[in-house]
A and B are shown apart, each in its own frame.
Chain A
């Protein structure tokens, strides 16, 4: 037993350290927040300074078409990657035995998610454009982006299933449900909020992707908003037409555009992209909360 003055000194020292470390954490968090605010603020300010409505028009002068292409491409990419990613995640977490092979598959999936996107872009060019003898098209772009999205969704699905208590599955099986029924009716609904995080990450990746689209979705866009013939290359909803996205537009405006307001256009695109990712996140979270509430009842 130490003497009382010494105990007091130790206690005081511990409290000082505690206060000091708390201060450091606040400072770091504040710095990051400040950086984020400055960055977003600067982008938004520059984007909307000197903004004229015709910059948003759905013509060659505005970026409306690019905005539409971006949303359309992300939706296509998610339509491909979400079902595939969830099924792959269910396989890895629920059916695959824990062997060297499945651990290897998991490492491959994780590696895929950190693959440089230009590599995916060139791969997509080779497979989806050259091998199919197609022109640049949105579907090829969506396929390339889904290669990037797939691992994010797979990994979050696996983690979501692994995080569920084993008692859930036991309880379901003990009621006479089969493994598949347990997955569809209980385990998967319980995983939705976490899987949604993966979907948001994947969509964010899709919104901002440029390199993977360079040689797949193409750099041009020519839409006729009164043409709804799905086979026509100027029909907005035709996935087999080229479609430049906002991220590509930024790149093009800053590198090869000769238009007088190209800098302004690039700034505007950046601002729109940020708002879009933010909007999508909020929407997805709200949807996830709604589904969760519906599934679990309103309390908690």
Chain B
């Protein structure tokens, strides 16, 4: 089967031929051979997971995950609700620490460092691996203060430097032109899509290397979704982006590599083209063709 023609429906409903007007050209060349499949990406592996098990109390939410995520690529986690994709994402910046009774075994590394080692500085880890949430969560303060919140926490005090961070971060999040005249206005006065891009800008402001996005467009309208998808094409040049999405077309549109989770297991993980054209596992095929999930 060939999904390429199906995935060419953009979220605003317009029909576009594949690979002509997509947010960005996916990297077609698969170079990294892993146990699962060939991954798109240069040689450098940013994130590794080895035999990762995660328990919420007695419930095992992740079962023996082994993954290598290449640098400067967009990796999508897909799968039905409750499959562990968000949980897996949250292990990467240790937001699961906040959940009571959450227990982790196995190893998670970023640039080869074990992030669950006892001497890990969690605040520095979260600075390196920024997170954008499903529901846009701007702080109840001005747009300007939202963006400078992180840098100030991490010790930037110089006003000129902060101004510069605000401008570059908002530009990187494609929001600058819309808000540059009202930076002192409340962030809560922005529309939903603008709020989500503000959250992306806020995350970029602390200069992470990894962007973790937990269904960032699921609460947004098609136009806003498109803007954020466009944005990701630019972001991957500088960041390693991981996006959790329940929208397979979105994964097909924006991801270089896609990982399919089911019941806490990583079923299939390969470059997006292979994943959607020749899924190796029958469960993957059934899921992406919409026969379950």
Chain A positions within 8 Å of B, measured between CB atoms, are: 165, 167-168, 170-178, 181, 185-186, 189-190, 295-300
Q: Which 10 A-B pairs have the closest CB atoms?
A: A297-B142, A167-B137, A176-B127, A297-B186, A299-B189, A175-B150, A174-B131, A176-B126, A176-B123, A297-B185
Asked if B137 and A170 sit within 8 Å, CB to CB, the answer is yes
- Beyond A174-B93, A175-B126, A300-B186: 12 further Cβ-contacts under 8 Å? A167-B133, A173-B126, A175-B150, A176-B153, A176-B154, A177-B123, A177-B149, A189-B141, A296-B141, A296-B186, A296-B187, A299-B185
In the complex, what residues of A have CB within 8 A of residue B188's CB?
296, 299-300
Within the assembled complex, what's the spacing in Å between the Cα atoms of A177 and B203?
12
Chain B positions within 8 Å of A, measured between CB atoms, are: 93, 95, 98, 123-127, 130-131, 133, 135, 137-143, 145, 149-150, 152-154, 182, 184-189, 199, 202-203, 206
Within the assembled complex, what's the spacing in Å between the Cα atoms of A295 and B185?
10
Asked if A167 and B135 sit within 8 Å, CB to CB, the answer is yes
Once A297-B184, A297-B187 are accepted as A-B contacts, the answer to whether A174 and B130 lie under 8 Å apart by CB is: yes
Partner of A186, one of B124, B139, B184, B189: B139
Asked if B140 and A296 sit within 8 Å, CB to CB, the answer is yes
Within the assembled complex, what's the spacing in Å between the Cα atoms of A12 and B206?
62
In the complex, what residues of B have CB within 8 A of residue A189's CB?
141
In the complex, what residues of A have CB within 8 A of residue B126's CB?
173-176
Q: Describe A's contact surface by its main secondary structure.
A: helix
Within the assembled complex, what's the spacing in Å between the Cα atoms of A175 and B154?
9
Most buried by B among A165, A175, A177: A175
Within the assembled complex, what's the spacing in Å between the Cα atoms of A297 and B189?
9
What is the chain A residue whose CB lies nearest that of B183?
Answer: A297
Within the assembled complex, what's the spacing in Å between the Cα atoms of A296 and B187?
7
Could you tell me the distance in whole angstroms from the C-beta of B41 to the nearest C-beta in chain A? 25
In the complex, what residues of A have CB within 8 A of residue B149's CB?
172, 175, 177, 185-186
6 pairs, CB–CB < 8 Å, chain A vs chain B:
A170-B133, A170-B137, A176-B154, A295-B142, A297-B184, A298-B184
In the complex, what residues of A have CB within 8 A of residue B133's CB?
167, 170-171, 174
In the complex, what residues of A have CB within 8 A of residue B127's CB?
175-176
In the complex, what residues of B have CB within 8 A of residue A173's CB?
95, 98, 126
Within the assembled complex, what's the spacing in Å between the Cα atoms of A270 and B98?
53
Within the assembled complex, what's the spacing in Å between the Cα atoms of A296 and B189?
10
Could you tell me the distance in whole angstroms from the C-beta of B86 to the nearest C-beta in chain A? 13
Partner of A178, one of B123, B140, B145, B152: B123
What is the chain A residue whose CB lies nearest that of B153?
Answer: A177
Could you tell me the distance in whole angstroms from the C-beta of B170 to the nearest C-beta in chain A? 15
Within the assembled complex, what's the spacing in Å between the Cα atoms of A299 and B143?
11
Most buried by B among A168, A186, A190: A186
Asked if A168 and B203 sit within 8 Å, CB to CB, the answer is no
In the complex, what residues of B have CB within 8 A of residue A296's CB?
140-142, 186-188
Partner of A175, one of B184, B185, B206: B206
Could you tell me the distance in whole angstroms from the C-beta of B172 to the nearest C-beta in chain A? 16
In the complex, what residues of B have CB within 8 A of residue A190's CB?
139-141
Within the assembled complex, what's the spacing in Å between the Cα atoms of A14 and B124?
62
Within the assembled complex, what's the spacing in Å between the Cα atoms of A299 and B190?
10
What is the chain B residue whose CB lies nearest that of A292?
Answer: B140
Within the assembled complex, what's the spacing in Å between the Cα atoms of A282 and B36?
67
What is the chain A residue whose CB lies nearest that of B123?
Answer: A176
Asked if A171 and B139 sit within 8 Å, CB to CB, the answer is yes
In the complex, what residues of B have CB within 8 A of residue A186's CB?
139, 141, 149
Within the assembled complex, what's the spacing in Å between the Cα atoms of A171 and B135?
10
Asked if B143 and A297 sit within 8 Å, CB to CB, the answer is yes
Asked if A176 and B206 sit within 8 Å, CB to CB, the answer is yes
Within the assembled complex, what's the spacing in Å between the Cα atoms of A174 and B189?
23
What is the chain B residue whose CB lies nearest that of A182?
Answer: B153
Could you tell me the distance in whole angstroms from the C-beta of A212 to the nearest C-beta in chain B? 37
In the complex, what residues of B have CB within 8 A of residue A177's CB?
123, 149-150, 153
What is the chain A residue whose CB lies nearest that of B186?
Answer: A297
What is the chain A residue whose CB lies nearest that of B205?
Answer: A175
Could you tell me the distance in whole angstroms from the C-beta of A49 to the nearest C-beta in chain B? 48
Most buried by B among A165, A167, A171, A300: A171
Within the assembled complex, what's the spacing in Å between the Cα atoms of A300 and B98?
32
In the complex, what residues of B have CB within 8 A of residue A185's CB?
149, 152-153
